[in-house]
Amino acid sequence: MKLLDKKIITGTITLETGLHIGGSKSSMDIGGLDSPVIKTPLGVPYIPGSSFKGKIRSLLAKKEGSDDVKNDSEILKKLFGSSTDERSGNTRLIFRDAYLDTKKFKENFAGAQMDEEFSEGKFENVIDRKSGKAQHPRQIERVPAGAVFDFEIVMDVYEGDDASEFENKLKEGFDLLQNDYLGGSGTRGYGKVNILHTINEAKINAGSHS
């Protein structure tokens, strides 16, 4: 199958409410926040490409009424992959990890009281229905509203593909996500995002093949 074009979709994910995408709690974190966010080895929160991709695919599939990857539409299988496509390498979209704009973060949150360098702690309680009292309070780590992440998605266009159809479907996914949530605890107000993007073409050799 002949590869005709590569489109590079770049943009920003701006948090309108706090974001929690869970990471693992190491022994170094004992005594810290109960539920940490995922971070780079340097301690900077990021959005895994798999989380971004999975959420968009899930929302698009839900809109189609598909409850199983095998039942997804052909365009979703082309864009996001199926077991067959993953083996052959013909999945059209590559989602990179989205990294926090640390410079902008420090400018926006200068002087703010934070629990960690790039995150805040929010207490969450379970309410006992009989007594009406809060039980088992936990402090959840989240990246605060106003933080900005930079993302990149690569779209491969092969011979016979409709690039504009792919672009429109991805934009539809962005729109759905902006009216849903990213990460955990969305029903409690976490994970509302605003997405801005641009599409550019990458230079490839005319004779490139998969």
Task: Write out pLDDT tens, residues 6-63.
Answer: 999 999 999 999 999 986 655 345 445 668 899 999 999 999 999 999 999 999 999 9
Question: How large is the greatest C-alpha to C-alpha distance in the chain, in angstroms?
Answer: 71
C-alpha–C-alpha distance, residues 92 and 61, integer Å? 17
pLDDT tens figures, 197-210: 998 877 665 444 44
- What pLDDT, on a 0 to 100 scale, did the predictor assign at position 163? 92
CATH number of the domain enclosing 103: 3.30.70
Q: How many helices (H) and strands (E) does the chain have?
A: 5, 8
Q: What is the pTM of this model?
A: 0.84
Residue 134, in any domain of the structure: yes
Query: Do 193 and 205 meet the contact criterion of CB atoms below 8 Å apart?
Result: no
| Structural domain boundaries, residue 108 | 3-201
Residue 209, in any domain of the structure: no
C-alpha–C-alpha distance, residues 77 and 160, integer Å? 15
pLDDT tens figures, 76-132: 999 998 765 555 558 899 999 999 999 999 999 998 888 789 998 887 655 556 665
Residue 81, in any domain of the structure: yes
Residue 206, in any domain of the structure: no
Residue 70, in any domain of the structure: yes
C-alpha–C-alpha distance, residues 84 and 81, integer Å? 8
Burial of 48-69, coded b for 16+ CB within 10 Å and e otherwise, reads: ebebbbebbbbbbbeeeebeee
Alpha helices in the chain (DSSP H): 49-64, 74-80, 83-88, 102-108, 163-178
Residue 120, in any domain of the structure: yes
Domain count across the chain? 1
Residue 207, in any domain of the structure: no
Q: Which of residues 48 and 66 earns the better pLDDT score? A: 48
Residue 137, in any domain of the structure: yes
- What pLDDT, on a 0 to 100 scale, did the predictor assign at position 90? 83
